[in-house]
Chain A
């Protein structure tokens, strides 16, 4: 099979140049240098928006109208300990000696938190360096900065600030280092996954992945988020390559822990359009042959790893911590050495802090954590709940699956099920919170009111976003809010007669369905049965394996086409090498989210139209060919880069066909153009014949095929093939 061989040869040639061209320092031989970690304490999304928005001064997160401007969820308390502490403990326990904490939003608070913690104490084996900047908008920015400042000296761990894990990374790290030694820096990243079957509560739906791996080498071949789809296209070449066992796995949780080589940071610099790790993984896998980089994976079965990306995960991870899945990171171990966080552990996973008082006949059923100084009244029933410090719980209160932060007051006869109550909120007498409610800090509800499922109540009026964006970091904003509150008053039906707070709605009610937004705060529900059939329809229709949420707009293709045209023009004028043109087109491809197939079509079209400009619209086949052929010759590598598989050939051919259908006057030159393509070894004869004999063409297409010159050309090709096959037999 000629095409494949050639492809392989080409691939390996590029691979050599790709890794040779990497600027990174050569990995040092033993002893391995101290392990470093890059901790990104920002998730760059607005998932926890309403919760964080209420407490701009205390902890987390915020986003104003810029979608990327979101929050620092790193300080959210998980079982009363800030999330970032879990991540740092994980890094320290696994042997990291230097951690760079990158953050953007609320960086001052994170810094203050870290300075008070044991991580900045001189005895800490893990040196924490704090790198705040307002300019980070994505993970990509952070890694580009890592590269610019040359912070990492060798392989490093990349984690987000919301990772909870007890994984010992050393075996994965060892595998990674061995791989890099054996294969000269081909593998740039090892991703860590935790095995867990579908339907598990700690599986985050928006992070649900399906991937294909080479079982012999653990190489990641294909990586895709499921996005609730039910059918998944896999590129055919995955199974046609010479890899013996390809495993397709859907039983993995992405822990968001990756072992990266310094090349990763460089690749982010080179590809300025990479924003997230997913972009990076996708880009690397798609361009694997071109850049010669590979991604590997490590799967752990025994240890725990999760990342808290939404409230559903928040709840799941909290309950896993209480149920000791993350041992030794259990509450009574008090790994932060904070005296306020010392707990005693008794049977049925009951953890009690110091100075907790429990009234008569109050029952702590199981999986309960009660923070320091909390007072609980009589006849309460508490199960599967986490209660923060200095809370007051009245009499006859029922808490089931409640997550309560510090300083909360819950009055008599209240009932809270599977809901989140943030700092200093107040729940008055006989209030019932149905599952998945959220009361953000200082909200007051009640008395005698039942909040329906999924209610989110915040102190911020829903429509204040726009006029507040300029002062969210400003203390005076607080006063202004109070004034506003007086002006507007609260809706008694929503929060009760003594209540304080507004029903929180997503930015604009007519744009985003309220229900949908609530759902996304808690994350999509686990119930898979609910999924509508449209989802599977979408998956049927979407051809490209790396489709993002929606297929690109037509406009995008138009813009992309113009950009490609501009690129080629410049390329011609300034004599830019084809390699650089490929690079530029690739980045355009990502910028406009264009599939490979469309790139092919656009490229063919642009190249074929190119001479038309010079001819001033005059359709003279003779002139056309004269000006086109040299162009084709100089851009041959460009085409070769994109036209590899059989389907690529056909796509290119159909694009050529389309062009000639549009420009009737040039029909006669089609044979010449095809000839040129054939002679430049861009298109295979087999494929041209294949295209020619296709039945499913339109009338016009058939007419085109009747063109004499074309027929002659085809005939010539057929003869040539017979000859060559005869020659082979001899």
Chain B
């Protein structure tokens, strides 16, 4: 089957290109974009890959997923999408084996704890599995498309009139969120510029274009206005990503560089205990409820790829 071999090599070339893109990571694509690309690639692997049983498919996805995750460990989106797909395969397989969806949904805490004993071997081949999984991934893609809008739709529930909102840097989602709220309510936004990249400036300009009262300030004065701030919407793409210190201290600063170390983290880490509310596309959740969300979206066996 020469056509098959060709397709295979084409596919591996695509995977290679994606991995390389992740590694170079120069242009910092939005996480939504990364998620869509990952899913698209995984879909291709499922459609074109050689597998007969669900177990083989999962092995394949896991193998490729691992390569992609390792390529850019700070980009958590990739790993999460791989886990979502694995979960989808499990569900579809379970459905084909006749396990009802309800029983799966009703997994209780007790069941979660004992789930180790119930592990499946995924060895029964089902012909419609491929089509079903691809269908489910397509649904997931559609869901992704609407993520930003879905989150923005909830804006009115969270932002009230005359509140002081603070945000830092630039985020597409936060921008949409605030703009949506501004259509009905009037509030004030403070943007910290987020040196040394200063994406905060871009954010402020975009918000000001929508006639939102916006103030830009330097990162150092955040503490001074913190007491006035009511809400702090922020988006975390990834963390623990250090880039070249060039932005913080230019390379031209000759002699001083031989004596000091410069670090330039791209993202700040916000410890979970400081977060009061997670807003996802399906609604706001308290941090204490996140574990449940996780178990719905990901299977515990997949946490370690």
Contact = CB atoms under 8 A, between A and B. Distances in A.
Given A197-B252, A200-B254, A325 B246 contact: yes
Interface in B238-272: 240, 242-246, 250-255, 257-258, 261-264
A197 B257 CA distance: 11
Interface residues of B, number: 32
Contacts of A123: 9, 12-13, 16-17
Given A304-B251, A327-B243, A200 B26 contact: no
A302 B244 CA distance: 9
A93 interface: yes
Contact of A304 (B12, B244, B257, B258): B244
Given A328-B23, A335-B23, A196 B242 contact: no
A-B complex: 5 closest residue pairs judged by Cβ atoms? A197-B254, A200-B254, A327-B244, A123-B16, A199-B255
B209 to A, nearest CB: 28
5 contacts: A123-B16, A199-B254, A200-B254, A202-B251, A333-B23
A330 B240 CA distance: 14
Given A197-B253, A301-B250, A342-B70, A328 B26 contact: yes
A570 to B, nearest CB: 54
Nearest to A197: B254
Contacts of A328: 23-26, 243
A729 B165 CA distance: 81
Given A124-B16, A197-B254, 17 more contacts: A92-B20, A123-B9, A123-B13, A123-B17, A194-B251, A195-B252, A196-B251, A199-B255, A201-B257, A301-B250, A304-B246, A327-B244, A328-B243, A344-B73, A345-B242, A348-B263, A349-B263
Contacts of A311: none
A97 interface: no
B242 A327 contact: yes
A125 B17 contact: yes
Most buried by A among B12, B25, B70: B70
Interface in A169-208: 194-203
Interface string A299-331: 001111000000000000000000111111010
The DSSP consensus for interface residues of chain A is: loop
B218 to A, nearest CB: 22
Given A93-B24, A323-B261, A196 B244 contact: no
Interface in B54-86: 70-73
Contacts of A122: 9, 13
A251 B252 contact: yes
A458 interface: no
A109 interface: no
Given A200-B257, A328-B26, A342-B70, A195 B242 contact: no
A145 to B, nearest CB: 31
A332 B74 CA distance: 11
Interface in B65-111: 70-73
Contacts of B16: 123-124
A345 B264 CA distance: 14
Contacts of B245: 323-325
A332 B73 contact: yes
Interface string A72-93: 0000000000000000000011
A342 B67 CA distance: 11
A55 B255 CA distance: 35
Nearest to A168: B26
Contacts of B255: 197, 199-200
A251 B73 CA distance: 37
Contacts of B73: 332, 344
A349 B260 CA distance: 13
A441 interface: no
Most buried by B among A324, A327, A349, A367: A327
Contacts of A273: none
Contacts of A198: 254
A325 B12 contact: no
Nearest to A122: B9
B153 to A, nearest CB: 36
A334 interface: yes
Interface string B10-31: 0011001100100111100000
Contacts of B253: 197
Interface in A257-309: 301-304
A335 B255 CA distance: 30
A202 B246 CA distance: 14
Contacts of B258: 200-201
Contact of B251 (A195, A334, A345, A348): A195
Most buried by B among A123, A301, A326, A366: A123
Interface string B201-216: 0000000000000000
B263 to A, nearest CB: 7
Interface in B251-305: 251-255, 257-258, 261-264
A625 to B, nearest CB: 64
B254 A324 contact: no
Contacts of A202: 251
A332 B244 CA distance: 14
Given A196-B251, A328-B24, A349 B244 contact: no
Interface string A326-359: 1110101111000000101100110000000000
B244 A326 contact: yes
Given A125-B17, A327-B244, A328-B24, A366 B261 contact: yes
A200 B249 CA distance: 13
A166 B71 CA distance: 18
Nearest to A526: B258
A29 B2 CA distance: 37
A301 B243 contact: no
Given A201-B257, A324-B242, A196 B262 contact: no
Interface string A686-720: 00000000000000000000000000000000000
B23 A302 contact: no
A125 B17 CA distance: 8
A325 to B, nearest CB: 5
Contacts of A348: 261, 263
A158 B257 CA distance: 29
Nearest to A339: B70
B244 A324 contact: yes
Contact of B243 (A125, A194, A324, A344): A324
Contacts of B246: 302-304, 325
Nearest to B242: A324
A700 B262 CA distance: 70
B204 to A, nearest CB: 24
Contact of B252 (A124, A196, A345): A196
Contacts of A327: 242-244
Contacts of B23: 328, 333-335
Contacts of A302: 246
B25 to A, nearest CB: 5
A580 B244 CA distance: 53
B244 A301 contact: no
B110 to A, nearest CB: 36
A125 B24 CA distance: 14
Contacts of A166: 244
A306 to B, nearest CB: 10
A142 B245 CA distance: 37
Contacts of A323: 245, 261-262
B2 to A, nearest CB: 16
